[in-house]
Chains A and B, each alone.
Chain A
Amino acid sequence: MIKVEKRSDVSRSIYFLTPVLAIFLTLFGGGIIFFILGFNPIEALKFFFITPISDLYGLSELLVKATPLCLIAIGLSFCFKSNNWNIGAEGQLIFGGIVGGGVALLFYNHDGFYVLPIIILSGAIGGMLFAMIPAILKTYFNTNEILVSLMLVYVAKLLLDYLVVGPWSNPEGFNFPETRQFSESARMPILFDGLRIHAGIFITLITVFLSWLILYKTYLGFQIKVSGLSLKTAKYAGFKGKTMIIIVFMISGACAGLAGVGEITGPIGQLHRNISPDYGFTAIIVAFLGRLNPIGIIFASLIVALTYLGAETAQIFLQVPKYTGQVFQGMILFFLLGSDYLLFFKIKFLGLKKNEL
């Protein structure tokens, strides 16, 4: 017989082991789905998770995709830790891309080392300002930040669409919905010839380090954690709730904006309609899978990036739509949240007692 008991304290090892369990359960669930679709599950999973990273190019692609995911998730961890549900990172990414891209187009005829930093900075500011909309509406008008940040994703997408079709479209581009290619000095330096991995990865790594500093070594980090654990305690301690909410949104918006500008100056090199394959939404999963912990998020971003690559490979070899990646991402989050049950409850397998038989 099985007995469920509440744990008196949360075990730290289980806290970081359940994500691993969730990944295995996802593989299992994915295998079942492939089987139902009529594929050999082992083969299909191999195409999905092994084939894409079995050469150097694949590994570089993994890092190219993990770079924005990790960056956005790090930003989101500030929000989620303090119980602020910013789920519009996709919009902040796009808006950051728009602002950064606009500056890149402005400097189209300029060469110089200063061009790229200005673009990157303006992208971060763009994302930050866009994230401040839900933050300010939440703090001053009591508006639900989930809905506002999400609605703004659609607004940002439509704004991008308008710009690349209309005023910013390439004058020599035969009316394709895209801007000019950015000049060389507006592009992220490529790290290795022939691979797409770019300097944006350093921005991500620096951000990871800085956020670790802020979260664990500063008063702000302490405030964020306390507010996340208990709003009442935070109020009692006299923390300025409103300022903190705006700051965490600014941080996560800036991170998403950086990710956006990293994409357009990195692998893409121009603005067009689809500058992000929903990185902003997927990063929510990365943040949770990484337990809102900077180091955890690095690992989580690599795993979730693999679902993107896997979906692309599976699309080629198995003719399944690229959305299969999202099925896996959804499953990871389901299993992760579900296995959190083990954090708070002990499941005991007891032998049957005589009198119960």
Chain B
Amino acid sequence: MSFDLNFIGILIGAIMASSVPLILAASGELITERSGVLNLGVEGMMIIGAISGFALMVVTDNLFFAVVGSMLSGLIISLIFGLLTQSLLTNHVATGLALTIFGIGMSAMIGKNFVGIPGKEFPLLFVNLKESIPFLGPVFFGHSIILYFAFGLPFFTNYFLKKTKTGLIIRAVGDSPTSASNQGINVTLVRYSCILYGGAMCGLAGAYLSLIYTPQWIENMTGGRGWIALALVVFATWSPIKVLIGALIFGGITILQLHMQAVGLRIPVQLLSALPYIMTIIVLVVISRDSRKIKLNTPTSLGQIFYKEK
């Protein structure tokens, strides 16, 4: 019995690990969207973070540089998006798509020399506790520091948005940029900051994939997680805590389908692999059906261009 419990614990730990990139990317994007900016470049920023993290790990042999570098590169590439949408007032949707296409291409270009290189072992915390406590051990211990950070992030984001002045300013900018601007808030600056923060978090999400989750570089290794993260923000109706729950559900589906594949059920592998995407659509439909609920929480100016006449 205790063995079974332990197995369930390991399963939960695996689900948590697979939800980390989604939590990080979606929490970052949530802040960006709360300021009224729709950045569809999540997938592109994640993949850039994945390759830069991995490349820096190989070149410097230092995981700290790799992680920080991945965040910086996510931030730098999101700066392109910021420049275009905020300073040159381009359409958010089109610019975000361009960012994703560019990011995937760029990552493959950089990553050419890093294909097939084995990753380095990322230090896991409290490994002895994981092994000595049944069930709770594998759930709570033996994870990387990024996982603990990711699980704290939604709570911090929630507090930040609701209880701090900066959070209030971000929400004000997202809901009514004109009145925020009249109050003397620099809307463009706030939006730039939120875009860069989102970029850094997506970069970190990518690095989690290439450094910890599947420690190697594979072209296109984000495999649509960026888009699922975007969908998560909608499911969560822009609430950070619900992002966490949504990400866990998705992590659960991913791990479940992997296990079903391993057990060798007579269900086509491809159908199982398609489950996360199909589930995304179903959940989106269920959540969006009630248009009032969506409207209540959507940042009012989401995706709209703000221009202040000088």
Contact = CB atoms under 8 A, between A and B. Distances in A.
Interface of A: 6, 33, 37, 85, 87, 137, 141-144, 146-148, 150-152, 154-155, 158-159, 161-162, 165-166, 281-282, 284-285, 288, 320-321, 323-331, 333-334, 337-338, 340-341, 344
A58 B155 CA distance: 57
Given A147-B227, A158-B274, A323 B108 contact: yes
Nearest to B108: A323
A334 B88 CA distance: 11
Nearest to B289: A141
10 contacts: A33-B109, A146-B40, A150-B224, A150-B227, A158-B270, A162-B269, A321-B109, A326-B105, A330-B106, A334-B102
A326 B102 contact: yes
A190 B97 CA distance: 35
Nearest to A154: B277
Contacts of A325: 105
Interface string B93-108: 1110111011111111
B231 A147 contact: yes
A154 B109 contact: no
Nearest to B93: A85
A144 B283 CA distance: 11
Given A148-B284, A151-B277, A333 B109 contact: no
Given A162-B268, A320-B112, A321-B108, A333 B101 contact: yes
Contacts of B112: 320-321
Given A147-B234, A151-B281, A333 B97 contact: yes
Interface in B229-273: 230-231, 234, 268-271, 273
A162 B272 CA distance: 11
Contacts of A338: 83-84, 88, 90
B89 A151 contact: no
A274 to B, nearest CB: 12
Contacts of B107: 323
A-B pairs, 5 with minimum CB distance: A330-B102, A326-B105, A323-B108, A333-B98, A327-B105
Contacts of B230: 147
Contacts of A85: 93
Contacts of B268: 162, 166
B39 to A, nearest CB: 12
Best-buried of B98, B104, B269, B285 by chain A (most CB within 10 Å) = B98
Interface in B53-94: 80, 83-84, 88-91, 93-94
B273 A158 contact: yes
A344 B291 contact: no
Given A288-B94, A333-B98, A337-B95, A151 B109 contact: no
Contacts of B95: 333-334, 337
A144 B274 contact: no
Contacts of A154: 224, 274, 277
Given A144-B284, A146-B93, A327 B270 contact: no
Best-buried of B105, B219, B280 by chain A (most CB within 10 Å) = B105
B158 interface: no
A163 to B, nearest CB: 9
Contacts of B271: 158, 162
A42 to B, nearest CB: 19
B102 A331 contact: yes
A137 B281 contact: yes
A82 to B, nearest CB: 14
Given A151-B277, A155-B277, A282-B101, 10 more contacts: A143-B285, A147-B234, A147-B281, A151-B231, A151-B280, A152-B281, A155-B278, A159-B270, A326-B104, A344-B89
Contacts of A151: 224, 227, 231, 277-278, 280-281
Best-buried of B99, B112, B270 by chain A (most CB within 10 Å) = B270
Interface string B186-210: 0000000000000000000000000
A21 to B, nearest CB: 13
Contacts of B84: 334, 337-338
B294 interface: yes
A194 to B, nearest CB: 32
A142 B294 contact: yes
A74 B224 CA distance: 26
Interface in B218-232: 219, 224, 227, 230-231
A330 B105 contact: yes
A333 B224 CA distance: 21
Given A323-B105, A326-B104, A331-B102, A148 B281 contact: yes
A142 B94 contact: no
Nearest to A340: B90
Contacts of A323: 104-105, 107-109, 219
Contacts of B227: 147, 150-151
Contacts of A165: 270
Nearest to A322: B108
B289 A320 contact: no
